[in-house]
Amino acid sequence: MALSDLPPAERHRRIAAAFADRVHGARNWDAPSPVAGWTARDVVRHLVEWFPPFLAAGAGVKLPDVPSVDDDPVAAWEERRAAVQALLDDPETPRRMLVNRHIGEVPLDRAIDRFYTSDVFMHTWDLARATGQDDRLDVEECAVLLAGMEPIEDVMRASGQFGPRVPTPDDADAQTRLLGFIGRDPSWTPA
C-alpha cells in the first residue's frame, strides 16, 4: 500500500521511523545540511521545535517537553516522535479540529499529516545528505506531495518556508523534482 493511501497515524509511523533510522545513523551532528545555514542537528531541531507551538495555538494540544537537541538529538527526536504518534493513535484525535487563520479548520489528524508528517518526510533527505546516509525517498510519496504543492506554489513561496525553486531536468524523477521544488539542490553534497 502506498504511503499516501495510509491513514495519518500509520503514515506518520512509517515516515517517522525512516527519519529515525537516519537520526540513529548520524555520526556528525555538526555536519552542514542542504538547508542553508543548518547543520544535521538543526534539521532535527526544526522537527522537534516548530510543531508544539503550532499544535498548542491551533488545537490547544500541549506536547510533552523533550530533551534538548543540543544535548541529545537522538533522545529529542525519539521522544517527539513518540508523543506525536501517541496523539495520532488516540481515537479522539480525528474528531478534534485544528484552527489556523491560514488554513481554516482541519481535522487534527489530517492537519498533523499534511503539515508535520510531510515535513518529516522531506527533511529525511536533508538529514541523510548531511550525514552521508541513504537519501532515497519513497518515489510515489514524492510525486503525491509535488502534485499537491505545485498548484499552491505562490502561497508556499510567500510563506517564507521554502527557498526559490531549483531547476531540474524535465525528465527528472519525482524525488529530484520535489527537491528542486522545495528549494533544494538535488545534487548537493557536503563540502
CATH number for position 79: 1.20.120.450
Residue 155 has pLDDT above 90, yes or no: no
Q: For residue 77, give the nearest of 142, 134, 21 by alpha carbon.
A: 21
In a domain, 153, yes or no: no
Reported as a single tens digit per residue, the pLDDT across 45-98 is 999 999 999 999 999 999 999 999 999 999 999 999 999 999 999 999 999 999
Query: Given this model, what pLDDT does residue 169 score?
Result: 95
Query: Given this model, what pLDDT does residue 72 score?
Result: 98
Count structural domains, the chain: 1
Query: Given this model, what pLDDT does residue 51 score?
Result: 96
- Per cent of the chain over pLDDT 70 is 100
Which range of residues forms the domain containing residue 80?
A: 7-136
In a domain, 142, yes or no: no
Instruction: Read off the pLDDT band of 152 (50, 70, 90).
Output: confident
Beta strand pairing status for 104-107 and 97-100?
Answer: antiparallel
In a domain, 40, yes or no: yes
Contact between 98 and 59 (Cβ < 8 Å)? yes
Residue 162 has pLDDT above 90, yes or no: no
Helix (H) or strand (E) holding 98: strand 97-100
Instruction: Read off the pLDDT band of 101 (50, 70, 90).
Output: confident
Instruction: Read off the pLDDT band of 158 (50, 70, 90).
Output: confident
Three-state DSSP string of 110-170: HHHHHHHHHHHHHHHHHHHHHHCCCCCCCHHHHHHHHHHHHHHHHHHHHCCCCCCCCCCCC
Instruction: Read off the pLDDT band of 166 (50, 70, 90).
Output: very high
Q: Which residues contact 183 (CB under 8 A, 6 or more apart)?
A: 162, 163, 164, 165, 166
Q: What is the pTM of this model?
A: 0.95
Instruction: Read off the pLDDT band of 34 (50, 70, 90).
Output: very high
Contact between 141 and 4 (Cβ < 8 Å)? yes
In a domain, 187, yes or no: no
In a domain, 87, yes or no: yes
Mean pLDDT for the chain overall: 95
Query: Given this model, what pLDDT does residue 154 score?
Result: 85
Query: Given this model, what pLDDT does residue 160 score?
Result: 77
